Amino acid sequence: KQEVTQIPAALSVPEGENLVLNCSFTDSAIYNLQWFRQDPGKGLTSLLLIQSSQREQTSGRLNASLDKSSGRSTLYIAASQPGDSATYLCAARKYGNNRLAFGKGNQVVVIP
């Protein structure tokens, strides 16, 4: 069974600092990995999807890297803003089906 871990569970950073969020997974036979953002009381918003053949994906201030062999993905958010405060979840999609295994998330607070 795929286990996805996100550490730390919560972190606070001053505005302007770069954010680094880590995600690890136990089964490297993944099809792709997806990062989501969740605001309190809301659903999940897809941020980035990295295919297993890719090393990284970028969207604006967000960059996600993937190292399948070591079972790790990292989400970088450059020049953090208070609006980046949210919970960030990573999810690994298993090869052969469309099943997503989620981590419990990194709860981020960006302090103005």
C-alpha 73/C-alpha 62 separation (Å) is: 13
In the region spanning residues 7 to 36, those forming contacts with other proteins, defined by CB under 8 A, are 31-32, 34, 36
C-alpha 16/C-alpha 59 separation (Å) is: 18
Structure tokens at 58: 């970028």
CB nearer to other proteins: pick between 48 and 80: 48
CB nearer to other proteins: pick between 18 and 51: 51
Q: Of residues 55, 95, 104, 111, which one binds other proteins by CB under 8 A? A: 104
**Residue showing tokens 């089964």:** 27
Q: Which stretch binds other proteins (CB under 8 A): 16-24, 57-65, 71-79, 87-95?
A: 87-95
Give the DSSP H or E segment for 51.
strand 44-51
* Interface with other proteins, residue 40, by CB under 8 A: no
